A and B are shown apart, each in its own frame.
Chain A
Amino acid sequence: MDILAVREIKKYFFAGTGLWGRPARAIKAVDGVSLTVRRGQTAGLVGESGCGKSTLGRTILRLFAPTAGRVLLGGEDITDYPPARLRPLRRKMQMIFQDPLAALNPRLTALAAVETPLRSYGQGKEERRRLAREMLRVVGLNASCEGKYPHEMSGGQRQRVVVARAMVLEPQFVVCDEPVSALDVSVRAQVLNLLRDMGERLGLSYLFISHDLSVVYYFCDWVYVMYLGKIVEEAAREEIFAHPAHPYTEALLSAVLLPDPGQKRVRIILQGDLPDPLNPPAGCRFYSRCPYAVPRCEEEPPLRELRPGHRAACWLH
């Protein structure tokens, strides 16, 4: 059973309104992506900055209106729901952001921050307070933190508040957008463990967006690799790490630096940067940086199944 199914979703942004009525140029941030998240599982979405992974996360939660495609939450097509109909559903789907300092209102204490989302769902004041307190304990913040403002807390504490605020509504599906990238190394493991514990406790499903493959390997059951608005490869965790098929996945994996100086591996160093999304290359989008490029790559490769469950968009396979 899938908690989330996304079908051929697109999100285009338009760069200005064209001069003299000329049509504006479209930035195809997400360009036809399909993915599913199974109930109780974690899907990872990996890619470099600017590849559209955050836009995809936000479009799934309907923080952006999709340009095309469908979003199904628990089998229910929510793509065209007006805000009023989305509101009760927002309880079921929450988001955890990268920068806790930016995500928290600087004028709300930890307790108030966690209590606020409950206001939309009709509990009384006492009940809200009780639930918020309880959730703060669950995420490992003691009573002395309740009255603290974001600037008085450490990075790890702030991210715990953000997690508590998302979890207090007992959601079914949570999008985590780089939840540990802004945290210090020793705190990262604490927050990852917390997310895993919360997942088990509430039977949650996650879409975990990250550029850090080692974190994705630890956290995710299924991995999607995104490049310039498209999924280029997807597979189960073990499969994709053991047998990456797309040259981009291969390069990403080889760029992971392991904390072990003895383990010198052959590193694939990609040339150049992510192409300008306003002018994506025709054909395969990875063509310009691909070490194995052949003439056929001027034609766009489809996402094809290589083995059951393992799909990649590359002519090499």
Chain B
Amino acid sequence: MADSSQPPLLEARNLRITFRRGRREFAVVEDMTFSLAAGQTLCLVGESGCGKSVTGNAVLGLLPQGSGRVAGGEILFAGRDLVALSAGEMRRIRAGKISIIFQDHAASLNPAHTIGRQLTESVRTREKVLGRGVSRREAYGESLALLERMGVTSPVWRMRQYPHELSGGMRQRILIGMALAKKPLLLIADEPTTALDVTVQAQILDLMSHLRRAMDTAILFITHDMGVVAEIADFVLVMYAGQMVEYDYAGGIFRNPLHPYTEGLLRSIPQPGRTGERLFAIEGAVPDLENLPPGCRFRERCPYGRPLCARMPPVTQLETKQVRCWRFAPGGEKIEA
């Protein structure tokens, strides 16, 4: 459903990711197809365990070694299949083209080293992988400039501080700075504001959209928060239990949600100005990925469930939107009859 005016920078085609537990191998992501062009933001939305982070990690080859693997499909980055890359080639991609930031800003920094040491080291490692050399002094200068650009106050002093001496917002700003220092073509942001306070979240989102405009970076933004999605997304892909259930322009998702899960998700969010007696709630819980029921994965929680849903619904294209639901599948009515 990509914007056809621009060639996609990142494209996933029929992506299937499996995890192994003991001897059993089960799919955590199935049949995922999406694309993202330069300067655009695609949000992967869903609940914990729906496969959104795994999808982001798979792009950078960061699946847990030994248990997780891309079992099918391809991930194309500027036309190259990332799945087929050697470890060395992937390192060069990570060093120069694609960055990732995680939710847990405390775990992403080494507690035993100063911010300055970590920043300069990351600059030097990157240059080394890319086959260029850079002196300590140059790396220090670049790091300092980066802190300034991120709006970090008194950067010279911050360079001498340890991660625990900084607030969460400050740490996340530094990580975003590190991720964007190399001017990546693609940024994968995995719940970057979830652990932050609302006022700090507003600062970080503001910073990200500012940097995106300045650098034309494409962003794959992973979140569960529909408010954040409304703020930054150009396109939205809603995931449920390892599958895409709805994929559209942001406006199409919010104004005309078709999949019952998207609809329920939007209706269940309390909104200032709307104090109904009860909130709309999607009953039940997400199915276990190791023991999925056959057919539509949302069937047991769906208010529109019907016998046909015992079969896996196909993905239907409706103008700009893709939706995986029998209610919108052409001929769905007939098959049922």
Contacts and interface: CB of A to CB of B under 8 A. Distances in A.
Chains A and B form a bound pair: yes
Interface of A: 48-49, 154-157, 184-190, 192-193, 196, 211-215, 217-219, 237, 241, 251-263, 267, 269-274
B213 to A, nearest CB: 16
B29 to A, nearest CB: 18
A186 B254 contact: no
B48 A260 contact: no
B203 interface: yes
B282 A189 contact: yes
Nearest to B301: A186
Nearest to A184: B47
7 contacts: A48-B197, A186-B47, A189-B269, A241-B273, A255-B198, A257-B230, A269-B206
Interface stretch (B30-38, B76-84, B135-143, B260-268): B260-268
Contacts of B307: none
B272 A256 contact: yes
Contacts of A270: 199, 202-203
Given A189-B282, A261-B233, A273 B270 contact: no
B21 to A, nearest CB: 15
B230 A260 contact: yes
Contact of B228 (A184, A253, A254, A257): A257
B271 interface: yes
B225 interface: yes
A79 B266 CA distance: 44
A273 B169 contact: yes
B198 A196 contact: no
B103 interface: no
Contact of A256 (B167, B197, B227, B281): B227
B230 A259 contact: yes
A185 B269 contact: yes
A258 B227 contact: yes
A255 B228 CA distance: 10
Nearest to A157: B285
Contact of A259 (B198, B203, B226): B226
A251 B279 CA distance: 26
